[in-house]
A = this chain, B = another copy of it.
Amino acid sequence: MDITIGIDIGGTNTVIGFVTKEGKSLHETSFRTTDFPTVEPYIKKLQDTIDRILSEHSDWNLMGIGVGAPNANYHNGTIEEAPNLAWKGTIHFCNLLEKHFPHITTAITNDANAAAMGEKMYGAAKDLSDFVMITLGTGLGSGLFVNGDLVYGHDGFAGELGHTLVYENGRECGCGNKGCLETYVSATAIVRTMAEILCNSSKPSVLRDVPYNEMTSLSIQQALKNGDELAKECFEYTGKILGIKLADLVCHTSPSHIFLFGGVAKAGDLIIEPTKRSMEEHLLTIFKNKIKIEQSGLLNENAAVLGASALAWKELEKRGNL
């Protein structure tokens, strides 16, 4: 059986999935990324892990390896200056992989782009050619599809909506700029917003008893469900900002669908409804009432691994190796 491997390189863990063309994950395993301060032994560990699992499944035929990683550059096959990985500088990741897996097609892109590819191949975007995937985790990632293809941009780094500007001189962002979208819309951002609301309002809230460092978007969501007014205000504000920036996004590429992925997306209508309302309010007339905002079709799956695997299948197709 032909399979590809999808690798999701996170700051903490690396997850490896063995996936069929139909998007069935046959096996998943993981190890700690942080155990490898340099990349060569990390690649060795990858190779050993993959070889071991392949040797247990002689009927699997490895066709390609796809990788989702922070600051990954599809065009160059590199990971460049990723702030939350120990490997500094420019890592020629695909070259390293191909050295250890000769004759295997490899491709790399950032995690949100990989998730978008997964949505296209296995999720709710199968029949769509213009859509956007927004991943709401620690930060805000995005992957754009235009004319049926993922947008990599001239340099391989397109799709960084998390770093579009909301407010000049706004909240400090990990990227070094201020006022970036992901400082207002992400799991971490929701906690920042909650803290701001707690100081500006004098209404009571169960969250006044929770230290900042213990607050999570999930606990705020729970408070909202229990009727906490300020928690509701927090999600309203988050949706408002996201809606404004999605209206901007629509002016760029006019997608038919915008999919939300990640823990915050699991809040469903608590986040989608205020986002839609704000987007519609700000949309140019010709775009009103036609752009759908929905939960990702892969919300309960490992979209990062499936997406990385989808990237490999897509690459095999592009190179005529399928």
A interface residue numbers (CB < 8 A to B): 71, 80-81, 128-131, 144, 146-147, 149, 151-165, 168, 175-177, 244, 247-249, 251-256, 282, 284-287, 290
A253–B80 alpha-carbon span in the complex (Å): 18
Q: Which of B147, B157, B160, B284 sits near A147, CB closer than 8 Å?
A: B147
A162–B251 alpha-carbon span in the complex (Å): 8
Asked if B285 and A158 make an inter-chain contact with CB atoms under 8 angstroms apart, the answer reads no
Asked if B158 and A80 make an inter-chain contact with CB atoms under 8 angstroms apart, the answer reads no
Asked if B177 and A282 make an inter-chain contact with CB atoms under 8 angstroms apart, the answer reads yes
Asked if B285 and A176 make an inter-chain contact with CB atoms under 8 angstroms apart, the answer reads yes
Residue of B nearest to A163 (CB): B284
Residues from chain B with a CB closer than 8 A to the CB of A153 are 130, 146, 253-255
A221–B195 alpha-carbon span in the complex (Å): 47
Asked if A249 and B252 make an inter-chain contact with CB atoms under 8 angstroms apart, the answer reads yes
A91–B90 alpha-carbon span in the complex (Å): 53
Asked if A154 and B255 make an inter-chain contact with CB atoms under 8 angstroms apart, the answer reads yes
Residue of B nearest to A162 (CB): B251
Residue of B nearest to A150 (CB): B147
A51 to chain B minimum Cβ distance, whole angstroms, is: 34
Q: Which of B156, B159, B252, B290 sits near A158, CB closer than 8 Å?
A: B252
A162–B248 alpha-carbon span in the complex (Å): 10
A240 to chain B minimum Cβ distance, whole angstroms, is: 10
Number of copies: 2
Asked if A165 and B80 make an inter-chain contact with CB atoms under 8 angstroms apart, the answer reads no
Asked if A144 and B282 make an inter-chain contact with CB atoms under 8 angstroms apart, the answer reads no
Known A-B contacts A154-B129, A175-B285; the reply to A252 vs B159 at CB < 8 A is yes
A284–B110 alpha-carbon span in the complex (Å): 15
Asked if B284 and A158 make an inter-chain contact with CB atoms under 8 angstroms apart, the answer reads no
Residue of B nearest to A168 (CB): B244
Residues from chain B with a CB closer than 8 A to the CB of A163 are 251, 284
Q: Which of B144, B168, B244 sits near A252, CB closer than 8 Å?
A: B144
A212 to chain B minimum Cβ distance, whole angstroms, is: 27
Residues from chain B with a CB closer than 8 A to the CB of A162 are 251
Residue of B nearest to A290 (CB): B155
Closest 5 CB pairs of A and B: A153-B254, A154-B256, A158-B254, A130-B154, A164-B248
Asked if A165 and B290 make an inter-chain contact with CB atoms under 8 angstroms apart, the answer reads no
Q: Which of B81, B165, B252 sits near A282, CB closer than 8 Å?
A: B165
Asked if A161 and B251 make an inter-chain contact with CB atoms under 8 angstroms apart, the answer reads yes
Q: Beyond the given A155-B290, A161-B252, A163-B251, could you list 13 further A-B residue pairs with CB under 8 A, ordered by the A residue number?
A: A128-B154, A131-B154, A146-B146, A146-B149, A154-B256, A155-B254, A155-B286, A157-B287, A159-B252, A160-B254, A164-B247, A175-B284, A176-B285
A307–B213 alpha-carbon span in the complex (Å): 56
Asked if A253 and B284 make an inter-chain contact with CB atoms under 8 angstroms apart, the answer reads no
Residue of B nearest to A287 (CB): B157
Known A-B contacts A146-B151, A252-B144, A252-B252; the reply to A157 vs B247 at CB < 8 A is no
Residue of B nearest to A247 (CB): B165
